[in-house]
């Protein structure tokens, strides 16, 4: 009898716990802090003391970065080997294309570079230059769309995606241009990048709310850095944590829109030792994450 009573008590207790779990309010699934993978572009990783792929990747590993975003002009298979040795990820490779009808559309080596990424969950970062069409116009869209679709088809075969990369003074200069072109391409594995420094250089607005709202349905990559709101590149690209532009506010805004994709550190033109710049940047990233976690309801 005692044994039966014990079993009954256990069943009741189990039922009570189950009912309590079912009736308890579900906690918010949005993680506290910054859950985005944080990586560095190769513009931030190379100096006199860090020339080889191995030395750059080892440094990223030691400092806590999730991976790398190099150029497709480099030896992609060798870069992948260096990353694999440190259990890091290649988040994107930078590819240049040209919308001018009398110019090659892109380097023929791009096809090999993309093929090497098979199964890597990497993005092809696609820039688009051109001298015959006005930047931020629609004059070269027909050729631009054809190029994007070609690259996207290669990417699709390798199981990777394309992220259009707005760059000041290029044909694809603004986030708005990237969104327009995404709407015209046939392939669905094409998204948009928000680059803080290029947005600051091309857009007179200093509130990113509108542009992020426009980009959000297609946003797959973001690059950030410390920055002032005005000036030349030495002020628009600094180690994270420097400058008066509110990068923390931008990250909070991205988080609140539900963006959980990768975020890269842009280090183009930053002087000094890359190790120290990356160390300072990671410290700022972690501080932003801790601050955001404390502000999470």
Contact 123, 182 (CB under 8 A): no
Asked if the structure places residue 118 within a domain, the reply is yes
For the stretch 96-142, pLDDT in tens is 999 999 999 999 999 999 999 999 999 999 999 999 998 878 999 99
Predicted pLDDT at 238: 98
Give kind and range of the element (H or E) at residue 263: strand 263-265
CA–CA separation, 227 and 236 (whole Å): 5
Predicted pLDDT at 204: 81
For the stretch 237-269, pLDDT in tens is 999 999 999 999 999 999 999 999 999 999 999
Contact 168, 237 (CB under 8 A): no
Report how many domains make up the chain.
Answer: 1
- Averaged pLDDT, 207-215: 96
Predicted pLDDT at 135: 83
For the stretch 3-27, pLDDT in tens is 433 433 333 333 333 333 333 333 3
Predicted pLDDT at 30: 46
Assess whether pLDDT exceeds 70 at residue 28.
no
Asked if the structure places residue 104 within a domain, the reply is yes
Asked if the structure places residue 187 within a domain, the reply is yes
Asked if the structure places residue 21 within a domain, the reply is no
Which domain range does residue 58 map to? 28-291
Asked if the structure places residue 52 within a domain, the reply is yes
Asked if the structure places residue 8 within a domain, the reply is no
Asked if the structure places residue 4 within a domain, the reply is no
CATH of the domain at 280: 3.20.20.150
- Averaged pLDDT, 277-284: 98
Contact 175, 166 (CB under 8 A): yes
């Amino acid at each position: 009898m005692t044994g039966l009573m014990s079993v009954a008590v256990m069943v009741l207790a189990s039922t009570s716990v189950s009912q309590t779990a079912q009736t308890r309010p579900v906690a918010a699934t949005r993680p506290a802090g910054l859950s985005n993978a944080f990586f560095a572009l190769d513009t931030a990783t190379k100096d006199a003391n860090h020339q080889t792929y191995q030395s750059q990747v080892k440094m990223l590993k030691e400092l806590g970065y999730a991976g790398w975003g190099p150029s497709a002009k480099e030896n992609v298979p060798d870069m992948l080997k260096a990353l694999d040795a440190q259990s890091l990820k290649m988040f994107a490779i930078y590819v240049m294309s040209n919308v001018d009808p009398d110019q090659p559309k892109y380097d023929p080596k791009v096809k090999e570079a993309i093929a090497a990424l098979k199964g890597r969950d990497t993005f092809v970062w696609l820039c688009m230059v051109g001298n015959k069409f006005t930047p931020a116009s629609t004059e070269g869209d027909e050729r631009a769309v054809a190029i994007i679709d070609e690259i996207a088809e290669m990417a699709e075969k390798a199981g990777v995606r394309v992220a259009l990369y707005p760059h000041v003074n290029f044909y694809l200069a603004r986030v708005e241009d990237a969104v327009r072109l995404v709407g015209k391409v046939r392939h669905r594995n094409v998204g948009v990048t928000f680059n803080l420094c290029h947005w600051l250089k091309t857009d007179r607005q200093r509130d990113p709310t509108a542009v992020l709202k426009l980009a959000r349905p297609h946003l797959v990559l973001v690059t950030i850095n410390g920055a002032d709101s005005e000036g030349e590149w030495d002020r628009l690209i600094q180690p994270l944590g420097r400058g008066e532009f509110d990068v923390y506010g931008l990250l909070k805004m991205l988080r609140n829109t539900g963006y959980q994709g990768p975020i890269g550190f842009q280090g183009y033109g930053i002087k000094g030792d890359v190790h120290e710049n990356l160390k300072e940047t990671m410290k700022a990233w972690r501080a932003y994450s801790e601050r955001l976690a404390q502000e999470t309801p």
